[in-house]
């Protein structure tokens, strides 16, 4: 059996679009995804049954909820609990790691120009 | 409601022991943990029902399974699937992020000098 090593930076070299989360790992029904973000395009949305983790690998990301806002810098993470309406706004270009359930809908029940029906999988 | 920002480096400033995973985040029944590793102390062990993710934030970590071995460097991750016997050997000092189910036993059914009954939780 070969064990897969995922080099985050090499993965980003293969991700060219923004707002297109790519699956790089799977465990316990959860996906590890990487995404590049740039621009204020994420609509307010809610995941009713899924908590969502954002870990900034490069850049600066504002995470807005209806009653709070935090800014994540490189090496910082936050968890948006299920049921909490939120959106994220990158300040410039951001490299982001997401951790969330495998069956999560990209922008909840909200359709927008960035909404994805499925996620690309980055194979080794 | 205040949203918690977890700065990984600041967390490591508060972790002084090696082989003592600290919980820094929780979502979907999973824990995000941080640990410092140094020395060849992790016994071979298996998690029967839990996949386990290792992401190296600093240093170099060998992840051994019975039929494979990989070395993770900074910014690299791997997933050890449930049921696969494994151990990890740091080369020097390693800062590690773990992602795994909240109820996982530290060293599976194996007792060793590093085995923990519970995990410290790093509050903000």
Among the partner residues B30, B51, B65, nearest to A3 by beta-carbon distance: B65
B31 touches chain A (CB under 8 A): no
Tell me how far apart the alpha carbons of residues B15 and A9 are, in angstroms, rounded to a whole number.
27
Cβ contact B94:B19 at 8 Å: no
In a domain, B3, yes or no: no
In a domain, A18, yes or no: yes
pLDDT band for B109, please (50, 70, 90 cuts): confident
In a domain, A14, yes or no: yes
Scanning A80-119 for CB atoms below 8 A from B yields 80-81, 99-101
pTM of structure: 0.94
Tell me how far apart the alpha carbons of residues B105 and B107 are, in angstroms, rounded to a whole number.
6
User: What is the CATH number for A60?
Assistant: 2.60.120.10
Among the partner residues A5, A30, A101, nearest to B72 by beta-carbon distance: A5
* Interface touch B3/A52, C-beta < 8 Å: no
- The first and second tokens of residue A62, run together, are 């504002």
Which chain A residues contact residue B69 at CB under 8 A?
3
In a domain, A69, yes or no: yes
In a domain, B1, yes or no: no
Mean pLDDT in chain B? 94
In a domain, A81, yes or no: yes
pLDDT band for A1, please (50, 70, 90 cuts): very low
Tell me how far apart the alpha carbons of residues B55 and B95 are, in angstroms, rounded to a whole number.
9
Q: In whole angstroms, how large is the CA radius of gyration of chain B?
A: 14
In a domain, A3, yes or no: no
What is the tens place of the pLDDT at every residue in A36-94? 999 999 999 999 999 999 999 999 999 999 999 999 999 999 999 999 999 999 999 99
Domain count, chain A: 1
Domain containing A78 equals: 8-121
- The first and second tokens of residue B19, run together, are 């082989």
Identify the three-state secondary structure at position B104.
coil
Among the partner residues A27, A75, A99, nearest to B79 by beta-carbon distance: A27
In a domain, A2, yes or no: no
* Residue among B66, B47, B61 nearest B95 (CA): B61
Helices (H), A3-122: 8-13
């Amino acid at each position: 059996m070969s064990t897969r090593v995922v080099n985050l930076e090499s993965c980003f070299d293969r991700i060219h679009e923004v707002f297109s989360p790519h699956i790089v790992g799977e465990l316990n029904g959860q996906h590890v995804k990487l995404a590049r973000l740039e621009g204020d395009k994420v609509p307010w949305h809610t995941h009713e049954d899924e908590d969502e983790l954002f870990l900034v690998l490069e850049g600066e990301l504002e995470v807005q909820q209806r009653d709070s806002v935090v800014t994540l810098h490189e090496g910082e993470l936050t968890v948006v609990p299920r049921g909490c309406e939120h959106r994220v706004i990158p300040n410039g270009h951001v490299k982001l790691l997401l951790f969330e359930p495998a069956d999560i809908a990209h922008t909840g029940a909200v359709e927008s120009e960035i909404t994805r029906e499925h996620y690309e999988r980055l194979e080794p």
